[in-house]
Amino acid sequence: IERLGRPAVTLITTAFEVAGSARARVLGMEEHPLVVLEHPLASKTGPQVKAIAMRIVDQIANGLVGGR
């Protein structure tokens, strides 16, 4: 999506942080913003996911507009 000129942020859990960073580097996108969430995410309840989202919303917004 970024290569099409649209800002993007990748949400990734701690278990995949190293792999996500490596993938971005291989694709020549070292500056691509990653927002790292606690792992696991799939077992969280709806209210827990909402609480996580509220904690990271600023990181997501900054990744979409920051430094551009």
Measure the CA–CA gap between 6 and 42, rounded to whole angstroms: 28
Return per-residue pLDDT of the chain as tens, 68 residues. Answer: 888 989 999 999 999 999 999 999 999 999 999 999 999 999 999 999 999 999 999 999 999 998 54
Q: Would you say 36 and 13 are in contact if contact means Cβ atoms under 8 Å apart?
A: yes
Please state whether the peptide bond connecting residue 40 to the residue before it is cis, i.e. omega within 30 degrees of 0: yes
pLDDT at 66: 80
pLDDT at 3: 86
Which residues, 6 or more positions from 42, have their beta carbon under 8 angstroms from its beta carbon?
none
Measure the CA–CA gap between 36 and 38, rounded to whole angstroms: 7
pLDDT at 45: 97
Place of tokens 């694709």: 27
